[in-house]
Amino acid sequence: MAENRDIEEIFSKSVRAGRRTYFFDVRSTRAEDYYMTVTESKRDFNEDGTPFYKKHKIYLYKEDFAKFKEALNEVSDYIIKEKGEEVISNTEKKTEEVKEENKIETKTTPKPVQDEESSSTDFTEVNFDDLGKD
């Protein structure tokens, strides 16, 4: 039965959040007590374009639930109090930053205006046969 312990689904809840999915899973210890795993699964792509999932997992045991919930609530409340519930999109900031960077990169030194007498067709004739003679 120990092999099936990790496979057995006691209870599971998933939360989709953009490219990420969070899984809250109830698992059983060897003593048949319960604990929770929280897994973040994020879709990404290999260099050849094939998708894969990066996963990060934390384990929470019953004795830590109260402290964990308290900290989660405190941090969540702080963020909402400081920044509100509206999502501030980083995409807008990045778009503006790219525009600013492009302004800097596209600035060029103006080319001097050539008058008609110094056109690009003026040149000095060089005879390479004369270079070897002294």
Query: What are the tokens at 24?
Result: 């809250």
> Using CA atoms, how far apart are residues 24 and 59, in angstroms rounded to an integer?
10
Reported as a single tens digit per residue, the pLDDT across 39-59 is 999 988 999 999 889 999 999
The residues facing 42 across adjacent strands are 20, 54
Answer yes or no: are the C-beta atoms of 71 and 65 closer than 8 Å: no
> Residue 129 — pLDDT band, cuts 50, 70, 90?
low
Residue 101 C-alpha from the chain's centroid: 20
> Using CA atoms, how far apart are residues 74 and 105, in angstroms rounded to an integer?
44
Answer yes or no: are the C-beta atoms of 44 and 54 closer than 8 Å: yes
In CATH, the number for domain 1-83 is 3.10.450.700
pLDDT at 79: 95
Reported as a single tens digit per residue, the pLDDT across 69-124 is 999 999 999 999 999 999 888 766 555 665 666 555 544 445 555 555 544 445 44
- Residue 37: closest CA among 28, 45, 46: 28
Q: What residue segments make up the domains of the chain, in order of their start? A: 1-83
